[in-house]
């Protein structure tokens, strides 16, 4: 099983969620063992995708270097991770990834347009060997050993449309595109109004987020899935876990997880060398694993 990158450069233009300005996003191939590297073309600063480069996790996952940041990276990375892409240059001319429709569907279409190619280097996958949990109050995120990659997420909101939702997905490229990619980010009207008073969420609208008031969904078209809210939380978690630097095999479980807890989970895992090992699959085992990204 070999490392991959995209077959050709591709790009799109979309609106940034917080500033509301157009952002040009370009994806370019990278050679083996390069990893995922972000590049601010307006500042000429490269920011490798590493846990130590995460500088904020309050509203989104934000990476930075030398005072320059790139925000809201998790939706794009979620698609990249689900497609099993190991090496990629992500170029933006602003400080955030375009929000598109609030899901990762546009990024999946971009990756489909780019295609993938195998490189002359073995793919490395992290295998979870023991349970790692990060908990704050009743909220927690957890990794545990499993022969396959599974995301198991539960949310609970005091809202009549959401209440308690649970979703489990056995992750593959196919299941991601069918079950997860179209799930949009969501927020509450009073939160949106507060953020805008602080100069944030200026690009947010009913075209790129599910917005709720105290009783109902305000988007005229309604929801894409009855449980779209928890599916989007899975989407976010997949993107956040890409900070490990490679795909992993194991079970991810969360109750009311967040970008912050996910970041702390990656740090806790990487700090404990006994909790994982790095494997390279060969032969029939590799063929089975490769099917997940076909």
Told to judge if 259 belongs to the known catalytic residues of this protein, a careful annotator would answer: yes
Which of the residues 18, 232, 259, 263 is marked catalytic? 259
Question: Contact, 141 vs 250, CB < 8 A?
Answer: no
CA dist 47 and 49 (Å) reads: 6
Which residues are identified as catalytic?
A: 259
């Amino acid at each position: 099983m070999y490392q991959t990158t995209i077959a050709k450069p591709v790009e799109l233009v979309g609106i940034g969620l917080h500033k509301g300005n157009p952002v040009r996003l370009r994806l370019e191939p990278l050679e083996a063992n390069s990893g995922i590297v972000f590049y601010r073309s307006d500042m000429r600063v490269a920011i490798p995708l590493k846990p130590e480069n995460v500088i904020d996790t309050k509203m989104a996952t934000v990476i930075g270097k030398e005072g320059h940041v790139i925000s809201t990276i998790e939706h794009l990375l979620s698609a990249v991770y689900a497609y099993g892409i190991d090496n990629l240059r992500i170029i933006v001319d602003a400080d955030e990834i375009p929000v598109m429709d609030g899901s990762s569907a546009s990024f999946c279409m971009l990756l489909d347009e780019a295609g993938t190619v195998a490189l002359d280097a073995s793919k490395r996958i992290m295998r979870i060997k023991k349970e790692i949990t990060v908990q704050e109050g009743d909220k927690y995120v957890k990794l545990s050993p499993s022969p396959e990659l599974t995301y198991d997420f539960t949310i609970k909101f005091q809202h009549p449309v959401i209440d308690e939702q649970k979703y489990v997905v056995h992750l593959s490229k196919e299941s991601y595109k069918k079950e997860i990619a179209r799930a949009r980010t969501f927020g509450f009207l009073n939160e949106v109004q507060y953020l805008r008073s602080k100069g944030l969420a200026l690009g947010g609208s009913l075209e790129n987020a599910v917005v709720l008031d105290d009783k109902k969904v305000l988007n005229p078209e309604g929801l894409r899935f009855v449980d779209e809210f928890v599916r989007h939380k899975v989407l976010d978690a997949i993107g956040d876990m890409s900070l490990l630097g490679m795909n992993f095999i194991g079970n991810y479980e969360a109750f009311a997880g967040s970008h912050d807890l996910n970041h702390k989970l990656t740090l806790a895992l990487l700090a404990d060398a006994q909790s994982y090992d790095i494997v390279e699959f060969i032969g029939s085992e590799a063929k089975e694993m490769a099917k997940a990204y076909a």
